[in-house]
Structure 1
Amino acid sequence: MPKTDNLNNYDIPQTMRAIVLPEPNEAINLADVEMPVPDCADNELLVKVEYVGLNPVDGYFAKTGFCKWQYPHVLGLDAVGVVVKAKKGVFPNVGERVMWHANIGEQGALSEYTKVANFAVSVVPDALNPAIAATLPCAGMAALISLDKINISEGDTVLIEGGSGAVGQFAIQYAKQRGADVFVTASKRNHKMVKQLGADAVFDYNDKKLCEKIRRELGPQGFDAVIDTIGGDTTLRNIELMRFCGRIACLNPLPSFDQDLMYHRAPNISVVSIGGAWLANSLCAQQRLSFMGNLLLEGAVNSDIKHPDITPVDFSAESVSQALNKQLAGGFTGKQIVKVAR
């Protein structure tokens, strides 16, 4: 039997189960392993993980690798769990349930225990199902950052590209709360869902006459702002649909820009990077993750925002691998949540 430390009635083992990426691979082959429970620095919390939310970025980097990772690497950036160890005087306290978006440059959260900086977490209200809380961090924070980048205010027209994805779903709801007129692209099967979230007009992104139909609905002025969750040629098309000096927030790599397009549109282009808060070693940006987490949790508790539909995933390498491949295949509109705690 492993030795345990008893602290506030929590028995903390020396080892734990974890799901790791042995090395980047196209099939996203993962492994179930036993590894040491992490040691914590003075400002870090040891958390017993309950739920982990899977994101497209998890699958993407599982295939390609990430420059800051050492292997085997524990995946998982969005998590909810209970604090089981913390230095005296450090908040949140032992026994508090917390939610966070993890440091992309360090080990992830798909393990029975993990460590996280205390200033980057948000305390989950007792009234909220922790599985729902696990749907919020990455997608919700990306939506909030995007809306701040494009400075949405009442009366603005905004196009949300890929509105049926998790980021798009949050962006629609928060854009409507700020008084914007919201235009959305989505596949036909998801039009009803995004309308229920508040979209004023929805277009099929597979429609060959998409731009023509948008201009017919919008008029000649162009969008005040765009949230572009797709990237590539879609970004170029969206800039063309914007008014002169319009604003666009891009969540994926930028394309090569045609200089004529830049000249006659003069767009204000912003890049959204949640992981950059950690990679830039910016304490203010990391604390902002906590503030945004508080806002998302408040919205979920008060039913001011609707979370994406949850698909449960078993805590096993095979199940997580299948889930990440499913997500990258496209067409998935909910959030896949791994239940870790037994």
Structure 2
Amino acid sequence: MAPNNTLQLCDLPNTMQAIVLVEPNEEMILSKIELPLPQCDENEILVKIEAVGLNPLDAQFAQTGFCKWQYPHILGLDAVGTVVQANKGLFPSVGDRIMWHSSLAEQGVLSEYAKVPNFAVSVIPETVSSNIAATLPCSGMSALIALDKVQITEGNTVFIEAGAGAVGQFAIQFAKQRGADVFTTASKRNHKLVKKLGADAVFDYHDKKLCDKIRTTLGPQGFDAVVDSIGGETTVRNIELMRFCGRIACLKTLPTLAPELMFRKAPNISIVSLGGAWLANSLCAQQHMSFMNKLLLENVANKNISVPEISIIDFDSESISSALRKQLSGNFTGKQVVEIK
């Protein structure tokens, strides 16, 4: 029985199935185990998970682990499901279908049930399927944050690395909404895809004369802004391609940057970190994620943006482990979504 101040959709089990990392390992070998049902605090809601979107970050941490984790750790960050238990007066309420990007420091969402603070979620419109919604949080919010940090406005030239990746696909579409001229990289087989999304110029990232071809197309002035999802030496190259005092949003850790390059380009460098909203205990940032997810959902519902091609993954340890390895194999352009039935 639920407490008197708690609303509950149905009788709930005492345990649940979950996909866990027993310990970090290079092969990303996972296990499916039975765990107790999460117990919610006052402002938390319990959700029956329907779909989980996989991300490269899930694969990376399956190999390395994370300093805040205790093991076995439930993997997964992007969740969609139906609220099955909530205290009276909380919104969203029991029966609402919601999505969210969960805390990196807490247990993940590759499980039959999960708990989440009510202020960090977004209610999904009826016209948006659970699988489509599961593609949005990490990739979509990363794209929005990156474009906000580089202050994209009408007429800006923006260079979006890896345009066929999930973040790149969302970034291209939102940059075009803001009136930017979009340049991007992709393998030749994905040039048609990124042009369909709105890219004005596409370059083969394998091309040894990439920088020369970009400068020929762009002109001598350099990019106003860059969205860099690759990192390493690619970040150094991208700063070289920017105008003086240009703006770059980096989704990966910064490499060592030569002082001469910093003086010559004086770049405005921003870091994109969704996990920071939770790790910094910033209530404002967590609520802002809810607002961004609502914006993503509205754009999908209104057919203003499209989502990457979806591959359905079974809710078992071997299928998910294989899917995570594919996340890091390169040339992956879609989104993998785990269905939990």
Unaligned runs of 5+ in 1: none
Map residues 20-59 of structure 1 onto 2, 5 A cutoff: 20-59=20-59
In structure 1, what is the Cα distance between the partners aligned to 2:96 and 2:183?
40
Quote the residue 2:245 is aligned against.
245
Quote the residue 2:273 is aligned against.
273
Quote the residue 1:284 is aligned against.
284
- How far off is 1:198 after superposition? 0.1
- How far off is 1:127 after superposition? 1.2
Q: Are the aligned partners of 2:8 and 2:86 in contact in 1 as well (CA < 8 Å)? A: no
Q: Which amino acid aligns with 1:332?
A: F
**3-state secondary structure, aligned to 2:295:** helix
Q: Are the aligned partners of 1:147 and 1:171 in contact in 2 as well (CA < 8 Å)? A: yes
In structure 1, what is the Cα distance between the partners aligned to 2:278 and 2:50?
23
Q: Which amino acid aligns with 1:339?
A: E
Quote the residue 1:10 is aligned against.
10
Q: Which amino acid aligns with 1:47?
A: V
In structure 1, what is the Cα distance between the partners aligned to 2:285 and 2:51?
24
Post-superposition Cα deviations, 1:9-54, rounded to whole Å, max 9, x if no partner, equal: 4121000000000000000000010000000001001000000000
Q: Are the aligned partners of 2:7 and 2:86 in contact in 1 as well (CA < 8 Å)? A: no
Pair 1:105 & 2:105 matched: yes
Report the count of equivalent residues: 339
Q: Are the aligned partners of 2:16 and 2:34 in contact in 1 as well (CA < 8 Å)? A: yes
Q: Which amino acid aligns with 1:14?
A: N
**3-state secondary structure, aligned to 2:146:** helix
- How far off is 1:4 after superposition? 9.2
Q: Which amino acid aligns with 1:64?
A: T
Quote the residue 1:81 is aligned against.
81
**Runs ≥4 residues deviating over 6 A:** 3-6
- How far off is 1:107 after superposition? 0.2
Quote the residue 1:164 is aligned against.
164
Post-superposition Cα deviations, 1:108-142, rounded to whole Å, max 9, x if no partner, equal: 00000000010000000111111100000000000
Distance verdict in 2 for CA 1:324–1:269, change over 3 Å: same
In structure 2, what is the Cα distance between the partners aligned to 1:192 and 1:292?
28
Quote the residue 1:314 is aligned against.
314
Q: Are the aligned partners of 1:50 and 1:80 in contact in 2 as well (CA < 8 Å)? A: yes
- How far off is 1:8 after superposition? 4.5
In structure 2, what is the Cα distance between the partners aligned to 1:307 and 1:76?
19
Pair 1:118 & 2:118 matched: yes
Post-superposition Cα deviations, 1:50-89, rounded to whole Å, max 9, x if no partner, equal: 0000000000000001000000000000010000000010
Unaligned runs of 5+ in 2: none
Q: Are the aligned partners of 1:4 and 1:13 in contact in 2 as well (CA < 8 Å)? A: no
Map residues 247-266 of structure 1 onto 2, 5 A cutoff: 247-266=247-266
Post-superposition Cα deviations, 1:188-211, rounded to whole Å, max 9, x if no partner, equal: 111000000000000001100000
In structure 1, what is the Cα distance between the partners aligned to 2:8 and 2:230?
47
Pair 1:224 & 2:224 matched: yes
In structure 2, what is the Cα distance between the partners aligned to 1:174 and 1:315?
32
Q: Which amino acid aligns with 1:287?
A: Q
What's the TM-score once normalised by structure 1's chain length? 0.98
Post-superposition Cα deviations, 1:234-279, rounded to whole Å, max 9, x if no partner, equal: 0000000000000000000111001111111000000000000000
**3-state secondary structure, aligned to 1:49:** strand
Pair 1:334 & 2:334 matched: yes
Q: Are the aligned partners of 1:4 and 1:12 in contact in 2 as well (CA < 8 Å)? A: no
Q: Which amino acid aligns with 2:20?
A: V
Pair 1:135 & 2:142 matched: no
Q: Are the aligned partners of 1:21 and 1:72 in contact in 2 as well (CA < 8 Å)? A: yes
RMSD of the alignment, in Å?
1.2
In structure 1, what is the Cα distance between the partners aligned to 2:32 and 2:55?
19
Quote the residue 2:64 is aligned against.
64
Q: Identity, % of aligned pairs?
A: 67
Map residues 148-159 of structure 1 onto 2, 5 A cutoff: 148-159=148-159
